[in-house]
Amino acid sequence: MSPSPLEFTVVSEDESSAARLGRLQLPHGVVDTPAFLPVGTQGAVKAVTPEQVAGTGAQMILANTYHLALRPGSDVVREAGGLHEFTGWKGPILTDSGGYQVFSLGDLNKVDDDGVTFRSHLDGDEVRLTPRRCMEIQNDLGADIIMAFDECPPYPASREQVEAAVGRTSRWAELCREAHSREADQALFGIVQGGCFDDLREESARQLLELDFPGYAIGGVSVGEPPEDMRRVVEVTVPLLPPDRPRYLMGVGMPEDLVDMSLQGIDLFDCVVATRHARNAGLFTSKGVVKIRNSAWERDYNPLDDDCSCYTCREFSRSYLRHLYQRSEILGPILGTIHNLTWFQRLMSQLREAIAAGCGLEFRKSCREKGFFSDRPSAGD
Amino acid sequence: MSPSPLEFTVVSEDESSAARLGRLQLPHGVVDTPAFLPVGTQGAVKAVTPEQVAGTGAQMILANTYHLALRPGSDVVREAGGLHEFTGWKGPILTDSGGYQVFSLGDLNKVDDDGVTFRSHLDGDEVRLTPRRCMEIQNDLGADIIMAFDECPPYPASREQVEAAVGRTSRWAELCREAHSREADQALFGIVQGGCFDDLREESARQLLELDFPGYAIGGVSVGEPPEDMRRVVEVTVPLLPPDRPRYLMGVGMPEDLVDMSLQGIDLFDCVVATRHARNAGLFTSKGVVKIRNSAWERDYNPLDDDCSCYTCREFSRSYLRHLYQRSEILGPILGTIHNLTWFQRLMSQLREAIAAGCGLEFRKSCREKGFFSDRPSAGD
């Protein structure tokens, strides 16, 4: 048997919560968990260089199978030598299954037991995605962690819809395990579906556990459900997952979610909020989100966040940042992204320290008191 | 008398041409000449951080008085401590007079002997610019080199128009010298006008020389005239300027112009072409301009330019760059700008070496043979 491409060690467990401090060893490096993965949808974290991403403290990034399969095509990436070689990001990479994008972005034609047929959101071309094809693509891309192809139902969905999706997701997971051709250097995770139905989440988890994946994701969240539903899904699902395997909550979250869900035992997160907000002039600070276009900052020559030592906060003032955003200078989103990503990574690093010290709950309390979570602007603001 | 903020030394003269190797000492550092200044129109070189600009080898940048006066306003910059403090660019800065932009971008209402009234291209507000106001603004901005307010006639313009512009430019230059309030730390240059009329160029130069500026610019070029006219203007004007003062050719140029005009004795250049082409997917290489969106590069895993050691060429392939531009990823223009600016700086550095060795003409010949100048895509391509 080939050596496992993934080694997960629970370094310590929080005494005040279900959180754990972990160490995830992957072919391209180590990831300290709980970890937040910046999103590089098309093989690039928007508005920053790989060098700048690494400078924020990020150890691992996510790239989207759906987008890369359409453009430039997974064969172009394979011929380059895989995503690491193609994108210049040296550390670990995770690719998602494409399931979420097929169901949310594509013009869906047909879901059957063998796969999904849809029209590309780029040019309307008909594309067929099956578990086998999904594995081929992700094997081409060559990420350290890859995801089994899943059916991700919309929100809201009927119990019947979700039940069918759970069944297909389990069968497809098995087919993916069979089709996965690079077991020695890519770790394949199963994705738990089940919508907001507790018993279906349980059924999905039980079926996937039989396939003995080296890690499990919770999917079908962050699809428009109320925050309390996402939280209940995590509460119900985490205890069903093996404690010695990494747990990945897909597409979450806001700073408050990162802390809360880590305390529930989640190890990996990805979310576009840090980078998307940066492009939309929403900058995270230890006193909440600053809308940097606001005229209040016109003559504010202080750094964006006194507690931050990122390049943006060391070198530039709120006044200059506001000017850049107001004038649509690309440098605005560049500096905003450097800051937001650094801010998220520092939050995770402080959280890990708190977990190591056994005081995760206290850390959450102090974040709340300081106002870390005081604003939750909508993603499109 | 206060010490001069500018010290210009001609280190050596080319034996094969009128080129000279110079050393320009300014309050914020040294500039080796001939030098190419990247353009930071609104106080930011588009798509790159000041750290990245410095990494390309650039020693000095240009910022636009007109744009900064409108937004954020020179008072906002002054209160920040000046452009260096505001923008985070530590090296020397040059601000232009605003004259060119007033006449090309503004909705011109009235030119009279005292100044210009125009409507802002941003919001239609009426703005009045006079020599005194132009100096106030540039004193607020605090660049190392500033420009006297000039009248820059359009191309084509009648002899009468150009004659009037030369007269006004000379009178305004005198008023600027009187109004300039920071002689100890900002060097004020006069701008020679005169359109494509040799005798008017001569008249303009003669009148400005009487005012004994520490440096002279050739303005009113790069306004749409045929290339041979620009070249003749330089040929006619340079010999009229004092050899011990730096000569600045405004808004020029393409790589070929940089080499040719340096051989005519020009010391300073600025041009948006390096950065604008980068945003429009035109990348300079030692074999000519590469249109990186071209499908020819889809599976070309070589660096953009084998001879270049910039971050872009060290870390990324043509295939990846093409993908970024095709997908409108901001990282495309970022990496393209890093490369183009590095390429321009390396050209200037090689040119300076050639001048030092007394073989400027030979250098031009070898550039031509290698195909350095083999493509001149239009600015908007």
Query: What is the per-residue pLDDT for A257?
Result: 97
A123 contacts on B by Cβ (under 8 Å)? none
| The pair of three-digit structure tokens given for residue B37, joined into one six-digit string | 């200044």
What are all long-range contacts of B288-291, with beta carbons under 8 Å and residues at least 24 apart?
Answer: B288/B371, B288/B372, B288/B373, B288/B374, B288/B375, B289/B374, B289/B375, B289/B376, B289/B377, B290/B318, B291/B377, B291/B381
Instruction: Compare CB distances from A72 to B42, B323, B334 and report the shortest one's residue.
Output: B323
Structure tokens at B250: 């405004």
- What is the bridge-based pairing of β-strands A126-129 and A115-119? antiparallel
Which chain A residue has its CA at the smallest distance from B68's CA?
A323
CB contact at 8 A, A168 and A113: yes
Amino acid at site B33: T
Report the alpha-carbon angle A153-A156-A162, nearest 5: 40
pLDDT at B377: 43
Active-site annotation holder among A14, A96, A140, A185: A96
Least confident range of A106-115, A159-168, B287-296: A106-115
Determine the pLDDT at residue A108: 78
Q: How far apart are CA A248 and CA A269, in angstroms?
A: 6
Residues of B with CB under 8 A from a CB of A: 42-51, 71-72, 76, 79-81, 86-88, 298-299, 301, 311, 315-317, 319-320, 322-324, 326-327, 329-331, 333-335
**Do B326 and A44 make contact, defined as CB atoms within 8 angstroms?**
no
* Each residue's pLDDT tens digit, A125-157: 999 999 999 999 999 999 999 999 999 998 999
* H/E element, A9: strand A7-13
> What chain A residue is nearest to B80 in terms of C-alpha separation?
A301
Chain A residue numbers with beta carbons less than 8 Å from the beta carbon of B320 are 43, 80, 86-88
Pairing of strands B282-285, B288-291: antiparallel
What is the predicted pLDDT for the residue at B337? 98
> Residue A74 is inside which H or E element, if any?
helix A74-80
CA distance A364 to A366: 5
Interval A342-358: pLDDT, tens: 999 999 999 999 999 99
Task: Out of 1.10.940.10, 3.40.190.10, 3.20.20.105, 3.40.50.1000, select the CATH number for domain A7-271.
Answer: 3.20.20.105
User: Over the Cα atoms of chain B, what is R_g?
Assistant: 20
What residue ranges in A238-299 does DSSP mark as E strands? 247-249, 268-270, 282-285, 288-291
Q: Looking at the predicted complex, does its ipTM rise above 0.90?
A: yes
What is the distance of C-alpha A19 from the center of its chain? 18
Domain range summary for chain A, segments of one domain joined by +: 7-271, 281-370
- Whether residue B75 lies in the annotated active site: no
Residue type, A240: L
> Do B250 and B218 form a contact (C-beta atoms < 8 A)?
yes
Q: Bigger pLDDT: A286 or B210? A: B210
Give the best residue of A140, A319, A327, A337 to mutate against chain B (max B CB count within 10 A).
A327
Q: Residue A104 has what pLDDT? A: 83
Is the pLDDT at A306 greater than 70? The verdict is yes
A21 neighbors A352 (Cβ within 8 angstroms): yes
- Write the DSSP assignment of A246-257 as a string of letters: -EEETT---HHH
- pLDDT of B130: 97
Cα separation, B136 vs B79, in Å, equals 14
* Cα distances (Å, whole numbers) of residue B360 to A1, A22, A262, B92, B235: 66, 62, 65, 26, 17
Q: Mutation test of the interface with chain A: which of B280, B312, B331, choosing the one with the most A Cβ atoms within 10 A? A: B331
The one-digit pLDDT tens for each residue of chain B (381 residues) are: 457 899 999 999 999 999 999 999 999 999 999 999 999 999 999 999 999 999 999 999 999 999 999 999 999 999 999 999 999 999 999 999 998 888 888 777 789 999 999 999 899 999 999 999 999 999 999 999 999 999 999 899 999 999 999 999 999 999 999 999 999 999 999 999 999 999 999 999 999 999 999 999 999 999 999 999 999 999 999 999 999 999 999 999 899 999 999 999 999 999 999 999 999 999 999 889 999 999 999 999 999 999 999 999 999 999 999 999 999 999 999 999 999 999 999 999 999 999 999 999 999 999 999 888 876 543 333
- With beta carbons less than 8 A apart as the criterion, state whether A98 and A69 touch: yes
Record: contact A331-B298, CB cut-off 8 A: no
Provide mean pLDDT across the span A303-310: 96
Q: What is the mean pLDDT of residues A88-115?
A: 90
Is the Cβ–Cβ distance between B285 and A42 less than 8 Å?
Answer: no
User: pLDDT (tens digit, 9 = 90+) per residue, A13-43?
Assistant: 999 999 999 999 999 999 999 999 999 999 9
pLDDT tens sequence across A187-244: 999 999 999 999 999 999 999 999 999 999 999 999 999 999 999 999 999 999 999 9
The Cα A330–Cα B111 span in angstroms is 35
| pLDDT higher than threshold 70 for residue A375 | no
CA-to-CA distance for B220 and B153, rounded, in angstroms?
A: 7
- Looking at residue B184, the DSSP 8-state letter turns out to be T
Residues of B in contact with A301 (CB under 8 A): 79-81
Distance from CA of B88 to the nearest CA of A (A): 6
Mean pLDDT (chain A) is 95
Q: What percent of chain A has pLDDT over 90?
A: 91
Cα B20 from Cα B23, distance rounded (Å)? 10
Contact (CB<8Å) B76/A323: yes
Are B80 and A317 inside 8 Å of each other by CB?
yes
